[in-house]
Amino acid sequence: MRFTVAIDGPAAAGKGTISRAVADRFGFAHLDTGALYRAVGVKGGDPVAAARGLTPEDLARDDLRTLEAGQAASRVAVIPEVRQALLDFQRAFARREGGAVLDGRDIGTVICPEAEVKLFVTASPEVRAHRRWLEVGGDEARVLAEVRERDARDMNRADAPLKPAADAVVLDTSEMTIDEAVAAAVRHIETLRG
């Protein structure tokens, strides 16, 4: 059985947490596509060559969840050749037997427009910055500035800008607990899965 769940949204909205929980709940494989871009960004050197030569070891690095890795991911994600190099890998993963959940910025709009379920997980910039600050620490005002900067870059890039797919369900997690957000996503998937 092939069944694809595409979960998009900005940084720290909860899409990764929701995606992992949904994958566990339904027994689907999970891919955090942001990790691909983070790995390319932290590898350094020529980003196109890094994307073409990505290895499982690159995806297992300990530094992929840092603020710096997130900023590097956003910078390399605007390069069309990097996006193309990672496209086939993501599409093959999405259509694997047994079902798949992919989370990122353009899964429902570009990578898997034919996904059976599309969710766009969001929250206010202030809520997302606070969540990220709790995760990585530092100066909370700086984290908020970086969240806003990244949103602007991701939403305004020429290639695959961050936006909900026309047929995506928008899930605003600003006032939700993790359990409530996961439950809402699961209910929507169960409705479409039959």
100 is in an annotated binding site: no
14 is in an annotated binding site: yes
CA–CA dist 163, 168 (Å, integer): 10
Q: DSSP 3-state assignment of 15?
A: helix
CA–CA dist 115, 62 (Å, integer): 31
53 is in an annotated binding site: no
DSSP structural state of residue 105: S
DSSP structural state of residue 22: H
15 is in an annotated binding site: yes
11 is in an annotated binding site: yes
DSSP for 140-189, written as a single string: HHHHHHHHHHHHHHHHH-SSS-S---TTPEEEE-TT--HHHHHHHHHHHH
17 is in an annotated binding site: yes
194 is in an annotated binding site: no
Annotated binding site for ATP: 9-17
Q: Which residues are annotated as a binding site?
A: 9-17
